[in-house]
Amino acid sequence: MSKISTKKIQRPKDLPFSNTILDRLRKQCEIGLPEISEMEFLQTSSQTKFLTNRYQCSTLFQQELDLLKKRPYLVSFSDQVPNPGDFISGKFLDREWLVLRNENKNLRLYRNSCLHRGTRLVSRGKTGSAKKIVCPYHSWTYDLNGDLLTKGCETIQEKLYSFPVLEKAGLIFSGFTENVLDSLSSLWEEWKVYELDSYIPFAIQSEEGAYNWKIGVEIFLESYHISTVHKNSVASVVEKNVSIMDPIGEHARILIPNRSYKNTSRPTRKDLIITYFFFHLRFLFFLEIISESSSFNLFHRIVLFVLEPF
């Protein structure tokens, strides 16, 4: 896990959710079950038929990868590259990327590959700051706009390959094509009310393991596991096995109430844990101050959890 920053910020406490959503959550608090448990497909005998081939079929997996290439992905937080020259590198599917902020403070996202021999320009996962990008193999050098500075080089093009990048609400998104970023528009209005860009990132966690990527997604679709898996942290302050989920375009949001939720007539941000799923490999957790007396205090922090299919 990579920690980024922590500090306390003052902001309006109101939630950007309708009374209908808040009432649904209150109902589940009274029942003591997640809303998904009431869905019809879970009330039939079909729930016992678990088809494992969906997690093992190589043909299906390739179809999933092809689909994911047509969707946006969350690269990182703006706070990781706040100043000109700041950079961070990473990977999504088969793409090695390099994000940096140029002299005009605009973000650029390049293929993390030298035009010469394809050498990786920056080690994956590395962050830092530089005035130029220098290839570690033959010292071919590029400026922050991706232009090749080294003279006398024989190459088809003299600029690093770039990809679409969108900076919004303190987050950085990209996609394999420009139009895929349009599918994020359904999130903007809610985030505007929520003042998402006023949050301070707390950590980024990337998980690798020998399992199908859908398993990594599905274990986050319920809160039943919290009392056991997170018994030393959030389990002491959240309602056991209570949550509601809503689609937002192709994305989704899950709300998990803290125990304080059912005891207040007007819930505020500190009464909820909010998770956003970005189709569906990146999970973004928003946490307020959970308990003033608890040893597990979180102050306006965001955690990005990354699942990488490979």
Which of 127, 148, 174 marks a domain boundary?
A: 174
- Top pLDDT among 76 and 99 is at 99
Residue 67 resides in a domain: no
**293 and 217, same structural domain?**
yes
Share of the chain above pLDDT 90, in %: 25
Which residue matches tokens 């799923």? 277
Q: Does residue 62 lie within any of the structural domains? A: no
Domain assignment of residue 277, yes or no: yes
Amino acid at the residue 153? C
The residue that leads in pLDDT, 277 or 114, is: 114
Looking at the structure, tell me whether residues 241 and 274 fall in a common domain: yes
Confidence of residue 86 (pLDDT cuts 50, 70, 90): very high
- Residue 195 and residue 303 in one domain: yes
Asked, for residue 213, whether it belongs to a domain, the answer is yes
Tell me: pLDDT of 289 over 60: no
Instruction: For strands 127-129 and 133-134, give the pairing.
Output: unpaired
Confidence (pTM): 0.80
Q: Among the residues of 211-278, which ranges form H helices?
A: 213-218, 226-229
Vertex 237: Cα angle to 231 and 239 (nearest 5) = 95
What pLDDT band is residue 26 in, cutting at 50, 70 and 90? very high
Note whether residue 59 is domain-resident: no
On the question of pLDDT at 46 being above 60, the answer is no
pLDDT in tens, 220-261: 777 888 889 888 888 888 898 999 988 888 788 888 898 888
Q: Are residues 148 and 244 in the same domain?
A: no
Choose one of 174, 209, 239: the last residue of a domain: 174
119 and 156 part of one domain: yes
pLDDT score at 293: 40
Q: Over the range 112-121, which residues count as b (16 or more CB within 10 Å of their CB) and which as e?
A: bbbbbeeebb
CATH of the domain at 138: 2.102.10.10
Q: Is the pLDDT of residue 119 over 60?
A: yes
Q: What integer pLDDT is reported at residue 245 of this predicted model?
A: 87
Same domain, 192 and 270: yes
Q: Which domain holds residue 223?
A: 2-44+187-307
Residue 278 and residue 192 share a domain = yes
Say whether both 170 and 195 belong to one domain: no
- Please report whether residue 118 resides in a domain: yes
Residue 2 is predicted with a pLDDT of: 47
Q: Is the pLDDT of residue 122 over 90?
A: yes
For the chain, the domain total comes to 2
Q: Are 200 and 295 part of one and the same domain? A: yes
pLDDT, tens only, 255-272: 889 888 888 888 887 888
Stated as kind and residue range, the H or E segment containing 134 is strand 133-134
Same domain, residue pair 289 and 250: yes
Question: Tens digit of pLDDT for each residue in 136-156?
Answer: 999 999 999 999 999 988 788
Shared domain check, 39 and 98: no
Q: Which of 153, 174, 195 represents a domain boundary (last residue)? A: 174
Q: Are residues 149 and 205 in the same domain?
A: no
pLDDT at 303 exceeding the cut of 50: yes
